[in-house]
A and B are shown apart, each in its own frame.
Chain A
């Protein structure tokens, strides 16, 4: 009984009901997303910001994306071992980039979805919007103020006279 419980604990240690990622795969996804958008000049990496649960949650909504995600992560693992004999999470940054470039070329559909969900999470996150100098509010009801154009800029155009073909 104890041995069985220990096995269950090992495989389900970081998963929640409805998850598709177990056995450290969520941590691997986090490491991947920190390469997709790395920490830079005060901005957090996408993985550190918390993008991996978001990506996984979206995968659970679509059987197609679930498969793409699981297959894609396996390919990343396979490529990591094939070229560096290590888990992806144990590679150096440049090695991780190299592995992801290979997988990007070989698993285009997976990679495009990964990028899309990563960017979706990152660039709608209040912390990132604040760092970009934006107000974290919806566009309405305030909108934005804009100045009107300098009307003297039209002078050169109007000086040309009629510019349409009379029929």
Chain B
């Protein structure tokens, strides 16, 4: 097992380098750059612009810029933001906390509801409850996040005045209340898709022989479901969660924009708009590492939970 882990981690390195290379190429292929608008500044002289370009390293050919970035990365230096002049690590650090907070709460809620709804739907398959949750799931999947967020905001904040409309904190409401609407927005779509997984997973397990045996033995219904069926049904579900989490941790742009949540999703969008290459590459590196890491974790969890699987 340890050898397996070591091999996976080792294999992650060329993978990450490949991701970084492709990302860099795509990033540089975007039309315009951080210096585009400077050229249309009425007070900018040609020499000044040339200076600024040199400071940003933009006068070098793309492979050289990439090489420099990789070299700095190896030394732990993500560089300075082109527009903010702050170190990229600082820019990301300032915004990672809010994203992690929001995502943790959203995922926790999602797991609870997804498992609950999925299990009940599976156990009482084809009941009114099952049909209801199925329909709601499809609606939840189809709803545009942007619209959902706005609706929640208008109903609960503007009309009912029960919850704050945005931000992380304010004088009127506690931070916990501020978390509710954005977490709910993220959770609704997530629950919609995850509950489907749990349901189909449960259905696979529930009809197996050993469950019938347990029932025949007289084990109580609740115990059959939780102790015997659910534990096996959850194995693939945990994998799904582990694979989805890194995408959430990279930030949810739409939710963060509407609820003025100061997270990484907004940072990515802003940096994309202003072509702030160092920050973009920093965020891409961060997400790439997370995705690769969580992939490995998902595999490990799967092996740990399912005794039939052994890695060499």
State whether these chains interact: no
Q: Give the interface of A toward B (CB within 8 A).
A: none
